[in-house]
Amino acid sequence: MTKLYKPTLYRTQESGPPVLIGRQCQCGHVYFPPQDYGCEKCGATGSALQEKILQGQGKLVSWATVHMHAKPYPKAPFVVGKIALSEGPVMRALLKVPDEQGLQSGMAVKATMVPVDEAQEVLDLWFEPATE
């Protein structure tokens, strides 16, 4: 059975792309990653904060290649991108690209699942250029 690397942040679906698990406040503010300390905009807490499924689509804002990394995963070099999700939040994520070539600010990206280990028993959510 396949496990998720960070199951509190995203889910896979039977059909369709993976989705991210964010939060939405009663004031309308949407944020990611999920946290229950309070709304970043109005300060509301508790039942004012509800789970919000984010579709894992957005625009690439910026990126950088990491050449040295102390942990075994992800293995350097890898590319990290800042992504403005369609629903509003801006997040950082690993990019499934061979290198920085071809990346452009504003290009459409989408979530995809990538194996963490060679046995493909654990999957992590990365972003890749959208082909549509």
* pLDDT tens track for 17-76: 999 999 999 999 999 999 989 999 999 999 999 999 999 999 999 999 999 999 999 999
CA 54 to chain centre: 9
Spans of all domains in the chain: 3-129
Residues 71-111: tens digit of each pLDDT? 999 999 999 999 999 999 999 999 999 888 889 999 999 99
Kindly tell me the burial class for residue 10, based on how many C-beta atoms sit within 10 Å of its own C-beta (0-12, 13-18, 19 or more): buried
